[in-house]
């Protein structure tokens, strides 16, 4: 009597039980309730784990995955306890659950997977283990993706597409939300009283070999660690310290000093313009907005600006996902990792930065200046930014149909830019793709807890001609040097 389906009596950790005419109402999820619960989910990936070193090497995969999407981890391995109440609350808030087993063996599907009955989408390691599951469309499998990066990208896209995300809960309309009785006592009693003998000639072989367990499976799912695809070690030079800081430039020319045929790096993001700056013109051509998008952008610009030919100062606002980010998690919850969180646009910087930029541009002989505000929080703009005392020719609030149109309009129509949330790659790329003579201002404080020059590298992340602004006591000043 085990969880294995080839046992005399198979007792799985749980299973789906179909809804029938005798099913009570409290055993069924209504679709309205499913939609209501799903609408409350604002965080990405969750895991409860206390077994830190496993035969499946799930910990290796999770470590790599967490570089590309936030993974909230509770349990002994992360020294974060979570009560039953806490667990229920976290499941309600998260979209995906890492149902990675400590061993990858036939039919070994534990309560981790069955947390899906609490309305969270499980992510498993190997789809083949779940082939006999009643529904294949209720979970996501890491084995379906080429790498943790690809899985993270899929999860991010699914996080913002609620219609597609809801499809993973189609099972709620066919199966009960309650747990069925898993042990058939009558069958057990019948076997106990039966004269028929049940024997296993080699119990060790049946339990271990026939289980077809796959050791180090998590490691095998990480491309650069898949040794079957790697050359011999004597031809490989590992460079664990190359480009380890996300935004600090590490000159690739130093890689020419090694004689090995292959170099294996573990660089994180390589998020410095210096890696690609010599190809800026080519990049602009590659990222040129499509004719279809530009047609809509031109129409919007004509309607918004009419015949205004003044110098256009653009100010980008980014708040919503930096306050409660699907990838970075809530600032309220992650008090232990606040240094990792990007600073949102704050009125303490936005208001004086606009005033500083206006004065700066006027001193540069721009007599007629207009302001355009755009971004993800129009309510914040309307309630907090005061402009009546400033001598702008016109003030515009951009309300495009898509972020792509926002992006293309800013690149093609803005003359100057204020990056009020400097951790936003959206505003960074707008600034980078604007004409070379554009004036760019940015907030030197990028993260929540530190000046950006202390925890990242201004001189590698921001172009030297961009103007560094520091807010203090209600005013903004230009910052010199690094």
CATH number reported for the structural domain that contains residue 74 in this entry: 3.40.50
Exposure class string for 293-314: b at 16+ Cβ within 10 A, else e: bbebbeebbeebbeeeebbbbb
Q: Is 282 found in the same domain as 255? A: no
Is a pLDDT exceeding 70 seen at residue 329? no
Domain count, the chain: 3
pLDDT digit string (tens) for 5-18?
566 666 666 778 88
Q: Is 186 found in the same domain as 41? A: yes
Residue with the larger pLDDT of the pair 127 and 453: 127
Q: Is 463 found in the same domain as 407? A: yes
Q: Is 118 found in the same domain as 62? A: yes
Model confidence band, residue 267 (pLDDT cutoffs 50, 70, 90): low
Residue 270 inside a domain? The answer is: no
Q: Is 335 found in the same domain as 201? A: no
H or E segment to which residue 94 belongs: strand 94-98
Q: Is 235 found in the same domain as 182? A: no
Q: Is 311 found in the same domain as 410? A: yes
Please state, as a whole number, how many other Cβ atoms lie within 10 Å of the Cβ of residue 472: 10
148-156 mean pLDDT: 93
Residue 204 inside a domain? The answer is: yes
Q: Is 238 found in the same domain as 148? A: no
pLDDT of residue 170: 92
**Structural contact between residues 459 and 482, judged by C-beta atoms closer than 8 angstroms:** yes
| Among 219, 153, 66, CA closest to 140 | 153
Residue 52 inside a domain? The answer is: yes
pLDDT of residue 443: 93
How far apart, in whole angstroms, are the C-alpha atoms of residue 229 and residue 349? Answer: 50
pLDDT of residue 465: 93
Backbone angles phi, psi at 197, to 5 degrees: -90, 135
Residue 410 inside a domain? The answer is: yes
Give residue 470's domain range.
Answer: 275-478
Residue 59 inside a domain? The answer is: yes
Q: Is 1 found in the same domain as 149? A: yes
How far apart, in whole angstroms, are the C-alpha atoms of residue 334 and residue 430? Answer: 30
pLDDT digit string (tens) for 397-414?
998 778 899 999 999 999
Q: Is 345 found in the same domain as 282? A: yes
pLDDT of residue 266: 65
pLDDT of residue 74: 92
241-262 mean pLDDT: 80
Residue 399 inside a domain? The answer is: yes
Lowest-confidence range among 21-30, 33-42, 248-257, 280-289? Answer: 248-257
Q: Is 292 found in the same domain as 208? A: no
Q: Is 76 found in the same domain as 28? A: yes
Model confidence band, residue 48 (pLDDT cutoffs 50, 70, 90): very high
Is a pLDDT exceeding 70 seen at residue 250? yes
pLDDT of residue 264: 77
- Domain ends where: 209, 241, 265? 265
pLDDT of residue 478: 82
């Amino acid at each position: 009597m085990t969880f294995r389906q080839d046992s005399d009596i198979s007792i799985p950790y749980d299973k789906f039980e179909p809804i029938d005419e005798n099913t009570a109402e409290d055993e069924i999820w209504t679709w309205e309730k499913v939609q209501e619960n799903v609408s409350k989910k604002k965080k990405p990936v969750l895991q409860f784990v206390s077994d830190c070193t496993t035969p499946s090497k799930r910990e290796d995969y999770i470590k790599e995955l967490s570089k590309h999407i936030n993974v909230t981890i509770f349990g002994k391995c992360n020294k974060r306890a979570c009560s039953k109440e806490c667990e229920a609350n976290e499941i309600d808030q998260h979209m995906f659950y890492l149902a990675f087993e400590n061993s990858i063996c036939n039919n070994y599907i534990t309560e981790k997977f069955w947390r899906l009955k609490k309305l969270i989408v499980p992510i498993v390691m190997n789809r083949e283990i779940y082939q006999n599951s009643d529904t294949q469309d209720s979970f996501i499998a890491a084995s379906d993706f080429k790498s943790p990066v690809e899985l993270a990208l899929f999860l991010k896209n699914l996080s913002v597409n609620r219609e597609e995300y809801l499809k993973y809960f189609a099972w709620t309309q066919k199966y009960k939300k309650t747990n069925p009785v898993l042990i058939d006592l009558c069958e057990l009693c019948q076997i106990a009283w039966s004269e028929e003998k049940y024997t296993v000639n080699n119990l060790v072989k049946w339990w271990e070999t026939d289980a077809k367990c796959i050791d180090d499976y998590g490691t095998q799912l990480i491309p650069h660690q898949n040794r079957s695809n790697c050359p011999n070690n004597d031809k490989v030079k590992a460079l664990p310290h190359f480009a380890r800081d996300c935004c600090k430039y590490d000159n690739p020319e130093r890689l020419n000093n090694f004689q090995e045929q292959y170099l294996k790096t573990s660089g994180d993001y390589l998020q410095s313009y210096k890696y690609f700056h010599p190809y800026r013109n080519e990049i602009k051509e590659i990222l040129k907005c499509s004719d279809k998008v530009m047609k809509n952008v031109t129409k919007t610009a004509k309607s918004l600006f009419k015949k205004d030919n003044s110098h256009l100062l653009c100010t980008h606002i980014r708040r919503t996902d930096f306050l409660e980010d699907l990838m970075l998690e809530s600032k309220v919850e992650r008090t232990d990792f606040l240094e990792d969180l990007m600073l949102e646009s704050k009125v303490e910087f936005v208001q004086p930065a606009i005033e500083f930029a206006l004065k700066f541009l006027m001193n540069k002989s721009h007599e007629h200046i207009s302001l355009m505000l755009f971004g993800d929080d129009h309510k914040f703009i309307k309630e907090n930014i005061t402009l009546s005392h400033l001598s702008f020719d016109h003030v515009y609030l951009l309300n495009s149909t898509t972020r792509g149109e926002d992006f293309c309009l800013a690149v093609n129509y803005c003359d100057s830019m204020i990056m009020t949330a400097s951790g936003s790659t959206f505003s960074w790329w707008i600034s980078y793709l604007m004409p070379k003579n554009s004036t760019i201002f940015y907030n030197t404080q990028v993260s929540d807890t530190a000046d950006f020059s202390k925890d990242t590298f201004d001189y590698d992340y921001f172009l030297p001609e961009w103007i560094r602004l520091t807010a203090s006591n209600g005013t903004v000043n230009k910052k010199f040097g690094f």
